[in-house]
Amino acid sequence: MNKLISVSAAGKLIPSGASVMIGGFLRCGSPLRVIGELIKNKTGNLTLIANDTSFPEHDRGQLVTHKLVKKAIVTHIGTNPETGRQLNAGELEVELVPMGTLVERIRCGGAGLGGFLTPTGLGTLVAEGKTVVESDGKKYLLEKPLKADFAIIYATKADKFGNAFLDGTTRNFNTVMATAAKTVILETDELSEKPLNPAEITIPGIFVNYIVQ
């Protein structure tokens, strides 16, 4: 299977109304070109699952600025005033999730698990509407798995099979999101003609459906 496609073709794969995981942490490790295609195509009504909504003029933040997101499931929105404005105006739904909880929910989605127990959020707004489970005399929240229709992730380098190497902190969320979506689009800075050395593979190609250079 030839996984390599153009950025234009990648953008057209994602329809309005889709749930989309987008990797990275603020401006680090984000798939900029594919995000740009979503903006170009005006692909809206999206459910965005990400660490954050970045900044108004950058990567994921631009999706909010262009009003293409109907719901954001994120850990924080403080760096993007437009997210807060749309939230307060009733134009955007925001579900704030503790960072560790978000990562683990995505991991559970990718691993086929039914959820996990955590004390994080007990006694706060995070606990509203959630099941509380007692184990060994301690109380925990039952957090359910999180999946998406698409994951758009970034890599420093990849081979034609989709095996990917991610340098340093660009790994943020990209690695776990690769496991939890029906379709995974990998955007890479460098495409290697030779298969990557197994020792440097961060994301195995088995998780990747399409590659954009």
Whether 161 and 191 have beta carbons less than 8 Å apart is answered as no
CATH number, span 7-111+147-212: 3.40.1080.10
Helices H / strands E in the chain, number of each = 6, 11
Tokens of 89: 């105006």
pLDDT tens digit sequence for 83-104: 999 999 999 999 999 999 999 9
User: Which runs of consecutive H residues, i.e. helices, occur in 154-199?
Assistant: 174-177
Which of these, 141, 142, 145, lies nearest to 112 by C-alpha position? 145
Query: Mean pLDDT per segment of 10 residues, for the chain of length 213 residues?
Result: 94 98 94 97 98 96 98 97 97 96 98 97 92 96 98 97 96 96 98 95 97 96
pLDDT tens digit sequence for 180-213: 999 999 999 999 999 999 999 999 999 999 999 9
Position 122 scores a pLDDT of 94
Predicted TM-score of the model (pTM): 0.95
Phi, psi (rounded to 5 degrees) for 162: 95, 0
Rounded Cα distance between 25 and 2, Å, is 29
